[in-house]
Structure 1
Amino acid sequence: MHAIRQHTFGSPDVLVYERTDDPVPGPGQVLVAVAAAGVHLLDTAIRSGVRTGPMPTPPELPTIPGREIAGTVVGLGTGTDPGLLGKRVVTHLGLAPGGYAELAVADAAKLHEIPGTLDEAAAVAMIGTGRTALGILNFAALGPGEVALVLAAAGGLGTLLTQYAKNAGATVVGLAGGARKTALVTENGADLSLDYNEPGWPSAVRGFLGGQRPVTVVFDGVGGAAAEEAVRLLAPGGRHLVFGWSSRGIAADGSGFDLTESGLAERGITSEPVLGPVMMAREGGENPMRALESRALAEAAAGRLRPRTDQFPLAAAAQAHRALEGRATVGKVVLEP
């Protein structure tokens, strides 16, 4: 088969499209002909050799990156249900890589059958990014009268958070970088779409809300200066939900507005990281991760959430990584063999 292999850590150029042996499913596993493989920002950190929370130890090299796949079951390991053969499935591989390939091995117990209304690219967007979005939303308690500000609203998570907030009856302000992305945020249903590169965007938010409806929740996967400004717009009692730091963390900037924990507490604002164990605890149940995945796929199948995907050929994985790191992508980045 063809796959993307990585023989060393470094820039996107270390991702090489080459022939390698077909994987063989073990007991309780299946072989999937991959139609779509998800690309996550975490993949770029792993590729670089950076140790990060979910992956404290870099993978053994050479490796085939990628942990989200959708496709058709074409082979079975021993003890695996024969009824799975020929099914369209989607799964998150967890800590095991192998997704950037024409064929991948997956645990049968972790598979979800793809609803007939979804294509593989949409399904792979929902199995990882979709489950994360629903996990974040468990903390938001959105409803009519809320004003939600979504940072990076043109990204995979931002797209879904914007749609969900609108469906819940909230007013949505979406921030993105550049005219192309803000136009997509508007198409996605935001009531106001603004370019966070424009210095006057906080004033535009205040003007749009007319001083009558303050921001009540900020969805922050970015950090940095844009997040600082967003937190300044929060009303007393507002919620700042943190799920990423693609720029940098929140920090006081000496302008007289205290963004430290004590300063936020004085205004009754909560700033809460919502990934990892706290997300699983909030979801609850025997298998919270699988429950989130099932709900995400159901929301997409029903048309309530519509993932946007940015698709690249498998052989162009290096290009996809460069585009993702350069913030040139919209929606969920997907590789297609």
Structure 2
Amino acid sequence: MQAIVMTETGGPEVLVAREADRPRPGAGQVLVRAEAIPVLFPETKVRSGEFPFPAPLPAVFGFQAAGIVAELGDGVDPSLRGARVVASTSSFGAYAEYVAAEADSVTVIPDGLSTEQAAAALMPGSVTLALLDAARVGPGETVLVEAAATGIGSYLTRLCAAAGARVIGTAGGPEKARLAREHGAHAVIDHTAPDWTDQLTASLAGATIDVVFDSLGGDSLTPLLDVITPLRGRILSYGWLTGAPAQLTATDLILRGLTLTGCAGTAWLAEVAAQRPAALAAVADGRLVPVVDTVFPLAEAAEAHRRLEDRRALGAVLLRP
């Protein structure tokens, strides 16, 4: 079968198309014939070496794939044979024509939802629902969504607006600002502008922010601390597009009565995994609308990574075996 092998850590060029042995499902596993493979932003961090890769190299890369269950290992529910699913691998191996995964890691795709839509939506949708469950956004609250144009940010914008919150989004450039407004943002600030935090303060007109969904990390939160609602302001930090987690101290939070929830680690990933069926259900009923930016042939995985890292994608990037 064709697969994408990560030969070493480094730039996109370390992802190489090779022939590989077709995996066999072990006990409790399924074998999925992949039809759509999402390219996930955290995967670019793993490939670059910023996050550790969970296996010796070289190895088949990738962490999720959507397709049809072709084989079952011992002890697996027979009803899964032939089912359309999104499989989440326990470590790696998803950038391939066939993917072995634990049966309890697969999410069945609802009728009426295409395989591509499911592949595009599962990760951002499940993270979004876990974030909203932790944040408890209420009607009338003011919410700041960083990177509100695509992926998790776009879903947060849509669902917070639907919950009756006033949503202020940040986005990089006019095209992404337009998308953030289409997703329901009431105001959009360009976070690439040097004075973006001053623009944000002006747009608040004396009001404060109740919830911040932080995907930028670094020092982006520091100038916002005094415009977050004292005593009940909540910060949920789930990404670091700037290259580092949020640089805040306990003193920064305690003196203002703020809380910061770090959305990372094993327990957090378990919360996200539990939201996978609900995420696809939200797409099926129209509450979430996945947008596919580009579908690359599997052999062009390196180019797909470049598109994500260059911030050119205005939606999900998929690979097609």
Normalised by the size of structure 2, how large is the TM-score? 0.90
1:276 aligned to which of 252, 265, 281: 265
Shift of 1:249: 3.7
Find the residue that maps to 1:194 and give its secondary structure.
strand
Letter in 2 for 1:304: R
> Are the counterparts in 2 of residues 117 and 301 from structure 1 also a CA contact under 8 Å?
yes
Q: For residues 152 and 310 of structure 2, what CA distance do their matches in structure 1 show?
A: 17
Whole-angstrom distance in 1 between the partners of 2:173 and 2:271: 37
Alpha-carbon deviation of 1:232?
Answer: 4.1
Give the 3-state SS of the residue equivalent to 1:61 in structure 2: coil
Flag the 1:7–1:305 CA change in 2: closer, same or farther, 3 A: same
Deviation at 1:136, TM superposition (A): 1.4
> How far apart, CA to CA, are the structure 2 residues paired with 1:86 and 1:196?
45
Partner of 2:44: 44
Task: Tell me the residue number matched to 2:303.
Answer: 319
Alignment of 1:213-228 (within 5 A): 213-228=207-222
The amino acid that maps onto 1:179 is P
SS of residue paired to 1:311: strand
Show the counterpart of 1:178: 173
1:184-203 to structure 2, matched below 5 A, reads 184-203=179-198
What residue is the counterpart of 2:124 in the other structure? 129
- Report how far residue 67 of structure 1 moved: 0.9
Aligned length: 318
2:71 to 72, 75, 92: 75
Deviation at 1:34, TM superposition (A): 0.8
2:25, 2:221 → 1: CA distance?
45
Range with bigger deviation, 17-26 or 174-183: 17-26
1:303 counterpart = 2:286? yes
Residue number in structure 2 paired with 1:266: 255
Q: CA 1:183 to 1:90, structure 2 compared with 1: closer, same or farther past 3 Å?
A: same
Per-residue Cα deviation, 1:72-119 (whole angstroms, up to 9, x for no partner): 112233443333222111121132x11111211122232221012322
Residue 164 (structure 1) shift: 1.4
For structure 2, the 5+ residue unaligned runs are: none
Change (3 A) 1:324 1:142: same
The one-letter amino acid paired with 2:82 is G
Question: Is 1:240 equivalent to 2:235 in the alignment?
Answer: yes
The one of 87, 92, 112 aligned to 1:117: 112
Structure 1 residues 118, 227: CA separation in 2 closer, same or farther (over 3 Å shift)? farther
Q: Distance in 1 between matches of 2:224 and 2:160?
A: 17
Contact 2:220 2:246 in 1 (8 A): no
Q: Does the CA contact (< 8 Å) of 1:154 and 1:176 recur in 2?
A: yes
Check 1:170–1:261 CA distance in 2 against 1; reply closer, same or farther (3 A cut): same
The change in CA–CA distance for 1:288 and 1:242 in structure 2 (over 3 A counts) is closer
- Equivalent residue for 1:254? none
Q: Is the 8 A contact 2:127 2:272 kept in 1?
A: no
Partner of 1:284: none
Comparing 140-149 with 19-28, which one deviates more in the overlay? 19-28
Displaced runs of 4+ in structure 1, greater than 6 A?
A: none
Name the CA shift for 1:261/1:296 in 2 (closer, same or farther; >3 Å): same
Partners of 1:274 and 1:190 lie apart in 2 by 23
Could you tell me how far apart the structure 2 residues matched to 1:233 and 1:68 are?
Answer: 39
Moved more, 121-130 or 108-117: 121-130
Name structure 1 gaps, 5 residues minimum: 252-258, 281-286
Q: Residue 156 of structure 1 contacts residue 309 of structure 1 at CA under 8 Å; is this kept in 2?
A: no
Q: Secondary structure of 1:133's match?
A: helix
C-alpha deviation, 1:289, in angstroms: 5.0
Residue 255 of structure 1 is matched in structure 2 by none
What's the CA shift for 1:220?
0.4
Q: Which amino acid aligns with 1:123?
A: A
User: In the alignment, what sits opposite 1:93?
Assistant: 89
Secondary structure of 2:10's counterpart equals: coil
Distance 1:215 1:164 in 2: 17
Amino acid aligned to 1:299: A
